[in-house]
Amino acid sequence: MSKLEDIVSLCKRRGFIFPGSDVYGGMAGTWDFGPLGVMLKRNITNLWWHYWVDQRDDMYGIDAAIIMNPRTWRASGHTDTFNDPLIECKECHSRFRADKLGDNMNEGVTTEEFLAKRIKCPNCGKFNWDEIKSFNMMFETHVGAVSDENSVAYLRPETAQGIFTNFKNVVDTIYPDLPFGLAQQGKAFRNEISPRDFILRDRECSQMEIEYFVKPAEGMKRFEELLAATHTFLEETMGLPENLIHDLEVPEEDRSFYSKRTVDVEFDYPNGREELMGIAYRTDYDLSNIQRESGKNMEYRDKITGETFIPHVIEPSIGVERLFLAVLTSAYLEDEDRIVLRLPENLAPYKYCVSPLLKNKPELVAKAREVYQKLKDKYTFVTWDDSGNIGKRYKKQDEIGTPKCVVIDFDSLEDDSVTVRDRDTTEQTRVKISEL
């Protein structure tokens, strides 16, 4: 298993991920995606959308606003309950999430339970804690020219509520048959007390969520279908090893009170087993809350029977950054004298790298440019590299996950063939340019 610090180093060295605001000393819990990171991230999000929306007849897209009417968060319970247990060290005044400092503690841990663990401050090593306080994680902002209690709004802590608030709009405009799902990708913001573990727990993240609306009697059946589809996506489309993925059936006492069933899909990251995504059976909790808070009818009328009811909802939700790190973890390999990212070809930022054997030979460069343009026109995601010797180019492309390197040499000028080098096996074969 790779080490987290090795992946972090690779990400910065090769332009996948940089610390946020790095030039000013950084900002905890924020990360910037570099040129290669953006390409990999887009491949992940595009493939997710293609799998869950484009290829299905029962899924539709939504792109809701980040700043929503604050009544949204009162109805959803976020204003009152979206809290983490905050504890402060009286000696050094460092603040932490209490439930993350010890084993077998959850978000409801009390001060007495925490103190009984005799946990010392990770920063100063002292045992002198203040009382645990409830800390709301929503980022507060103000809308309009005057900042007062009437202008308070929040950056959304999840994308799901934008889907729920548009449920009636979708039903009234396209009237889809049940079951149907609404999918959304977008930014979410959580004021984490102690962001950590690279991009696993940060303050600004991207989410990919589906709210799947079903008849109440079919809820459990649809849940199983979505869980199976999730594993197909993770293992076949994303290329994650099956043995690193684990389903955790969340017991009733640990589930949200409105959840009829929740499965946390966990992954073996370099720092241990962590949640990759979750699937929650939210019943009619969200739509009922909206109906009560807004006074608008959230019922669905069955096209055949005429029966009206509030649909139940199943929610597969995944963070892009968590999936991004899982993909890197699965692909990262230290192989003898090289580091290689064995990314699936559908995820690799570049499909090919084209190089002239020598960059100071105009005839080789011209031929290589011809091959480069041909591949660029066909595959789009093709890069050019003529820096350093050929061995260094191979090493660089291995580290960024490029599956094939195409080299134009002097023989290419005679026989219109090139050397194609495979990333995973390092084998080199001669291929006609016309057959690339």
Per-domain residue ranges of the chain: 4-68+153-330, 352-435
pLDDT at 80: 79
Pick the CATH number of 4-68+153-330 from 3.20.20.70, 3.30.200.20, 3.40.50.300, 3.30.930.10: 3.30.930.10
Sequential DSSP letters for 178-219? SSEEEEEEEEEE---SS-BTGGGB-SEEEEEEEEEEE-GGGH
pLDDT on residue 274? 93
Residue 75 is predicted with a pLDDT of: 87
Q: How far apart are CA 121 and CA 89, in angstroms?
A: 7
Q: Which two tokens stand for residue 386?
A: 């003529």
pTM of the model as a whole? 0.90
Tell me the pLDDT tens digit for each residue of 61-87: 999 999 999 999 888 888 877 788 899
Tokens of 99: 């439930």
Contact at 8 Å (CB) between 355 and 390? yes
How crowded is residue 254: how many other Cβ atoms within 10 Å of its Cβ? 13
Q: Do domains 4-68+153-330 and 352-435 have the same CATH topology?
A: no
Query: How much is the pLDDT for 28?
Result: 87
Report the pLDDT value the prediction gives residue 1, as an integer from 0 to 100.
Answer: 66
Spell out a b/e string for 201-215, using b for 16 or more CB atoms within 10 Å of the CB, else e.
Answer: bbbbbbbbbbbbbbb
Q: What phi and psi values does residue 272 have, to the nearest 5 degrees?
A: 125, 180
Q: Which residues contact 326 (CB under 8 A, 6 or more apart)?
A: 238, 240, 244, 267, 269, 276
At 17, the amino acid letter reads I
pLDDT of 229: 97
- Cα 307 from chain centroid (whole Å): 38
Residues of the chain with confidence (pLDDT) below 70:
1
CB contact at 8 A, 356 and 318? no
Both tokens of 130, joined, read: 């203040």
CB 396 within 8 A of CB 385: yes
Pick the CATH number of 352-435 from 3.30.750.80, 3.40.140.10, 3.40.50.800, 3.40.50.980: 3.40.50.800
* Whole-number Cα distances in Å, 31 to 18, 56, 269: 6, 33, 18
